[in-house]
Amino acid sequence: MGSALTKQEILKEIVKAGKDPVYFTTNYCRISHPQKGLIPFKAYDYQQSLLKDFRDYRFNIILKARQLGISTISAAYVAWLMLFHKDKNILVVATKLQTATNLVKKVKAIIKNLPKWMQIADITVDNRTSFELSNGSQIKGSSTSGDAGRSEALSLLIIDEAAHVEKLDELWTALYPTLSTGGRCIALSTPNGVGNWFHQNCVEAEAGTNDFYMTTLMWDAHPDRDKKWFDKETRNMSKRQIAQELECNFNVSGETVIHPDDIQWYLERTTSPEYRTGFDRNYWIWKKYNPENHYLVVADVARGDGKDNSAFHILELATLEQVAEYVGKPTPDDFADILSNVCAEYGNPMLVIENNNIGYAVLKKLIDKGYPNLYYTTKGDHQYVDPMTAQWQSNVIPGFTTSSKTRPLIVAKMEEFMRNKLITINSNRLLSEMKTFIWHHGRPQAMRSYNDDLTMSFAIGCWVRDTVIVESQKDVEYSKSFLSAISTAKTSISTTIPGMRDHAMTKETQRTSEAKNFSEKYIGLIKG
């Protein structure tokens, strides 16, 4: 087209392209195809719509499926912005420098492959991560760990794969002032769970409570994709991968410890507490104390920096039902008093407290108060020791120690309980917290800026319930059965011990009574 144009026609085309990024892209941009080489960029309808949005809206956020060419269309817009506007300063950030510089390279390639007469500004500085034009416009790629752009005014900030960028909330806080003079922002990403900066801003954009204009592009936005394509593409993909890469599903996409489907299952079955009490009304009670039941109280004490909460759960042991819950920011002394009073109301059950630094302060006060049923463990191997034995052992510490060894164990037990629907959860507060409880470099923890106090105390409760208490019950049954074996022996002690695992118990009460009578007679004979 260009070779046959007159000077007047060229000028007309330049003006027309400069006014409309869609016209510029669809008529003059060429991109590199892996098989076909350099080809014209024939933007699809959804890509052309994005170009208009980039021009018309100051802040754009795009929730997208993979391989829709959104980075490429963003590069075309940047090329148009730099070429037809003087002194534009553009920064591309991504979690990896390579990802950011790939977009910079796309912009550079688009400009270099324009007709010579359309290249109205020359590349004067050309580096691996940046380049500048003769009209003063420039672009630079940076990882999120860099300081680029934080002290200079930006015309456009592009955040690529924003949902996967760590500490993006901090980066946004640092970079937002650089946009104050009219700068724009394009944030684009596949989803990566809930609670991160990208998810929060998408939710707010949908609700109209922030400055972002939101666009959602699922896998079928591409005109060449149909059900047959989807079935073939997802054949070897997990449910989480499908949600993240194709379906734009925040809830299923993230690496949450508890599967989102399980969280949703429990959420649909939560109930409102019968009582909301306590000095801060954060003590929720679903079922009051029943003297016929046995309970377990598990507490997590805040670190003391004001960023997290103190929390506890009350579990009914036989039914594995959460009957009460507290989360708040009391002082250690107040939290100890709360625990003491609550436990008194529930028959002084076993009380398990995580013994972090502040946790020891709470434990000490409860020990000083003479609480009769605290949880103790041996140092090093974390084996449970009953309170009576604990008084006579030197290698015993009060409370539960969450360490690199125990943390994955208790979390795995909680996940097992929930996956198999073995426990009743009544609290939507707890389940909401679980939505942002994720795997981070192989460690289960709360997503940045979120808390896991309810989750971790609940996990400890699941583990203690299934190990310590169950094993203690087994010990009791074993003792009962051993006495039963003695009481029923004729010429020799029976080696068959009813009550052990996989053996049905029969007439346990009667046999225990017989054993007791036998024991009293035997002791009497010795004394005589």
CB atoms within 10 A of CB 395: 11
Annotated domain spans of the chain: 2-252, 260-470
Burial 17-26 (b: 16+ CB within 10 A, else e): bbebbbbbbb
Task: For residue range 510-522, list pLDDT tens digits in order.
Answer: 444 444 444 444 3
Band of the pLDDT at 195, cuts 50, 70, 90? Answer: confident
**In Å, what is the CA distance from 24 to each residue of 28, 80, 463?**
6, 7, 62
Q: How far is it, in rounded angstroms, from Cα 221 to Cα 205?
A: 20
Evaluate whether 70 touches 50 at the Cβ level (below 8 Å).
Answer: yes
Residue of 163, 153, 230, 237 lying closest to 200 (CA atoms): 163
Q: What is the pLDDT of residue 500?
A: 33
Q: What is the pLDDT of residue 357?
A: 77
Mean pLDDT of the region 36-63: 93
Mean pLDDT of the region 322-345: 95
Instruction: Name which of 96-110, 385-399, 488-502 the model is least confident about.
Output: 488-502
Global pTM reads 0.66
Q: What is the pLDDT of residue 131?
A: 96
Evaluate whether 486 touches 511 at the Cβ level (below 8 Å).
Answer: no
Q: What is the pLDDT of residue 384?
A: 84
Task: For residue range 416-428, list pLDDT tens digits in order.
Answer: 999 999 999 999 9
Q: What is the pLDDT of residue 475?
A: 52
Mean pLDDT of the region 491-503: 35
CB atoms within 10 A of CB 471: 11
- Show the 3-state SS of 369-406: HCCCCECEEECCCCCEECHHHHCCCCCEEECECCCCCH
Q: How far is it, in rounded angstroms, from Cα 49 to Cα 266?
A: 40
Structurally, at CATH architecture level, domain 2-252 sits in 3-Layer(aba) Sandwich (3.40)
Q: What is the pLDDT of residue 516?
A: 45
Angle, helices 7-19/70-84, rounded to nearest 10 degrees:
120
* 260-470 maps to CATH 3.30.420.240: yes
Instruction: Name which of 58-72, 236-250, 480-494 the model is least confident about.
Output: 480-494
Q: Provide, for the chain, the percentages of residues in helix, strand and coil under a 3-state DSSP scheme, each rounded to the nearest 5.
A: 45, 20, 35
Burial category of 268 from C-beta neighbours within 10 Å (exposed 0-12, middle 13-18, buried 19 and up): exposed
DSSP codes, 308-323: S-EEEEEEETTTTEEE
